[in-house]
Amino acid sequence: MTAAPRRRSFRVLATLLVLLASAPPAGATVRVSWQPAQPRAGDVVVMRVRGVPAGATVDAMLDGHPIALFPTADGHAGLFGIDMDAPAGAQPWEVTVRDGHAVASTTGDLPVVARSYTVQHLTVARSMVELDPATERRAVDEIERLRLTYRAISGERLWRGRWVRPVAGEAPGTGFGSRRVINGQPRAPHSGIDFAAPVGTPVVAANRGRVALVGEFFFPGRLVILDHGLGLYTVYFHLDTIAVAPGQLVARGETLGTVGMTGRVTGPHLHFGAQVGATRIDPAVLLGLADD
């Protein structure tokens, strides 16, 4: 009865000795930085890990969620989304480097700043707010399909370099996070930005990616969703026409379709959104990211 615990404690002691003997080189030189260093809710954050010894593996966690890292010119980087409704506060992070038998962790806190949003009052056709049971079911099923799409994390990073506006022009997209009151009733907050443009204006891919979903849904209208890899998606709603097919690999700037007014809209525009897994981020932040 006493042999097993004793053997186990010997194994634990042996493991500790190995760790103590070889731990310092693995973690001593690892440096972790964040951009931005004090993200707001809705931001996409770039984590950079430098000083990982050649041949070592590195894992990163933020607030209990793994961050998919990819190699860069001077180390590793990963993207993490801070949800638009994330509360203010410190989110703990941990980077673990494994080099042979040596395991070393570096930890810290990422301070997140809350964000306040405007309230937007909209008036649309009654049929777009007071749904009959069949339409209600359809809308719920479609939201679930979107959720399932964002949940799939492909392991390959497809995006490269800078992100581009999905429609030509200079005016910034509007309305991220606004609390929506539609026909007098509070509704889900606006999780993307809107670009007003005439019907027929070309809509292009913000970066390289694979077409994850094409459809005609009740609220989003005709839509395209691009999978950029590592859990990062961009979404294009209310299209008039669609020029791509599911599974197709598209280049940055390649035409996806044209601006329309399908789904629940008050006029022709592109709704442009971005997700990191289940997290809704501000797509305008992607447009401001530096090259990698």
Residue number of the CB closest to Zn ion reads 271
Least distance to Zn ion, CB of residue 173, Å: 9
Gap between the Cα atoms of 39 and 61, Å rounded: 16
Site size toward Zn ion (CB under 5 A) is 2
Nearest approach, Cβ of residue 196 and Zn ion (Å): 10
- 194 or 282: CB nearest Zn ion: 194
Residue 194 or 227 with smaller CB distance to Zn ion: 194
| Dihedral in degrees, nearest 10, Cα atoms 184, 185, 189, 193 | -40
Terminal Cα distance for the chain, rounded: 57
Mask for 167-206, x = binds Zn ion (CB under 5 A): ---------------------------x------------
- The nearest distance, CB 23 to Zn ion, in angstroms, is 50
Question: What's the token pair of residue 137?
Answer: 């079911």
DSSP 39-61: PBTT-EEEEEEE-PPTT-EEEEE
Contact 273, 285 (CB under 8 A): no
Task: Name the minimum Å distance from CB 192 to Zn ion.
Answer: 5
Nearest residue to 83 (alpha-carbon basis) of 282, 280, 284, 286: 280
Minimum CB separation from Zn ion for residue 139, in Å? 16
Find the shortest distance in angstroms from Cβ 273 to Zn ion: 8
Taking the least distance from each CB to Zn ion, the nearer of 39 and 177 is 177
Q: Assess 271 for contact with Zn ion (CB under 5 A).
A: yes
Give whichever of 99 and 194 is closer to Zn ion, judged by the CB atom: 194
Candidates 93-101, 223-231, 259-267, 271-279; binding stretch for Zn ion (CB under 5 A) = 271-279
C-alpha separations of 191 from 35, 178, 205 in Å: 22, 8, 18
DSSP 8-state secondary structure symbol assigned to residue 173: P
Q: Residue 141: helix, strand or coil by DSSP?
A: helix
d(CA 200, CA 214): 18
- Which range touches Zn ion (CB under 5 A), out of 3-11, 89-97, 228-236, 266-274? 266-274
Q: Which residues bind Zn ion (CB under 5 A)?
A: 194, 271
